[in-house]
């Protein structure tokens, strides 16, 4: 019964993500991977020994290390996506600033 806290926490995270998407504070496209992570949290909460079986399948001796590696990979993936989006937005800002400067110069 001690897993009930993790199940409740996982469901709360899932509901919060869906709530933010419904309030239009978080786009569906951006929330997809967070929803996947919340679903994985729910599965691992309901079946806590599944990570042990998966680690055994991959020949990893210490199952919690697999969980940490998966979390690190997930966060690196999210960070990479965010960095890519920031770069794209910066390029768009530069282009818009240049277009505005050209329009202001033409109107003088």
Q: What is the mean pLDDT of residues 38-46?
A: 89
CA neighbor of 44 nearest in space, from 89, 77, 9: 9
Q: How does residue 94 score in pLDDT terms, banded at 50, 70 and 90?
A: very high
Q: Quote the CA–CA distance of 80 and 96 in Å, as a whole number.
A: 24
Q: How does residue 92 score in pLDDT terms, banded at 50, 70 and 90?
A: very high
Identify the pLDDT of residue 57: 92
Q: What is the mean pLDDT of residues 83-100?
A: 96
Identify the pLDDT of residue 107: 85
Q: What is the mean pLDDT of residues 55-81?
A: 91
Q: What is the mean pLDDT of residues 72-83?
A: 92
User: 1 versus 13: which is more confidently predicted?
Assistant: 13
CA neighbor of 1 nearest in space, from 54, 41, 48: 48
Identify the pLDDT of residue 28: 81
Q: Name the average pLDDT for the chain.
A: 89
């Amino acid at each position: 019964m001690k897993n009930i806290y993790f199940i409740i926490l996982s469901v709360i995270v899932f509901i919060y993500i869906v709530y933010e998407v419904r309030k239009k504070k978080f786009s569906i496209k951006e929330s997809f991977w967070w929803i996947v992570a919340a679903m994985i949290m729910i599965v691992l909460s309901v079946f806590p020994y599944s990570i042990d079986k998966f680690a055994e399948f991959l020949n990893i001796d210490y199952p919690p290390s697999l969980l940490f590696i998966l979390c690190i990979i997930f966060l690196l993936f999210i960070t990479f996506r965010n960095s890519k989006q920031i770069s794209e937005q910066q390029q768009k800002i530069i282009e818009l600033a240049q277009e505005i400067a050209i329009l202001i110069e033409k109107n003088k």
